[in-house]
Amino acid sequence: MLNAAMRWLLRHSFIRFGLVGAGGYVVDAGVLGLTTGQFGFDPYRGRAIAVAIAMTATWLGNRYLTFAAQRARGSVSAIAQEALKFAGANLIGAAVSYGTYAALVRYAAVPWNNVFAAQAIGVLAGLVFNFTLSRTLVFRNGGPAKL
């Protein structure tokens, strides 16, 4: 029964997108912890670095798991264009995510100003933008993406 439910869930690109995003969240949080803890960066620079690395991880995950049928194939140029489109499209979601994060860190009361709480809320705020733009603008080569 669990196996059937899992197969049903994984048929939906939004669920796969969310799972890849969850992995990206772990990368994002790990890099944020590393940059602000071990390397001593301020929370704004640390978050910017974390976003860039997490975006690369989520592009790869979405390319091979979420939108495998629609991903660019063939030339290195086509794949590089896809990566650039993903980065460009997801900059909107990243801006929403980062803006939410920065506002919470700066202006919110405890516990919402905690970098990890603010990061989680920011990630959720950017999720809808990222999925919609990825589905409609980035991963279209193999035909229309399925919800």
Query: What's the mean pLDDT when you consider all of the chain?
Result: 87
Structural domains of the chain, count: 1
Q: Is 94 inside any structural domain? A: yes
Confidence class for position 82, pLDDT limits 50, 70, 90: very high
Q: Is 114 inside any structural domain? A: yes
At residue 127, the pLDDT reads 84
* Statement: residue 143 has pLDDT above 90: no
Q: Is 144 inside any structural domain? A: no
Q: Is 3 inside any structural domain? A: no
At residue 122, the pLDDT reads 92
Q: Is 44 inside any structural domain? A: yes
Contact 25, 120 (CB under 8 A): yes
Cβ partners under 8 Å of residue 28, min gap 6 = 50, 51, 53, 54, 119, 123
47: alpha, beta or left? (left if phi > 0; alpha if psi -120 to 50): alpha
Cα–Cα distance, 50 to 48 (Å, whole number): 5
Query: pTM of the predicted model, to two decimals?
Result: 0.71
At residue 146, the pLDDT reads 42
Lookup result for tokens 């202006």: 107
Q: Using one digit for the tens of pLDDT, what is the confidence trace for 96-110?
A: 889 999 999 999 999
Q: Is 107 inside any structural domain? A: yes
Q: Is 1 inside any structural domain? A: no
Q: Is 145 inside any structural domain? A: no
Q: Which of 94, 89, 112, 120 is nearest to 25 (CA)?
A: 120
Domain that holds residue 82: 11-138
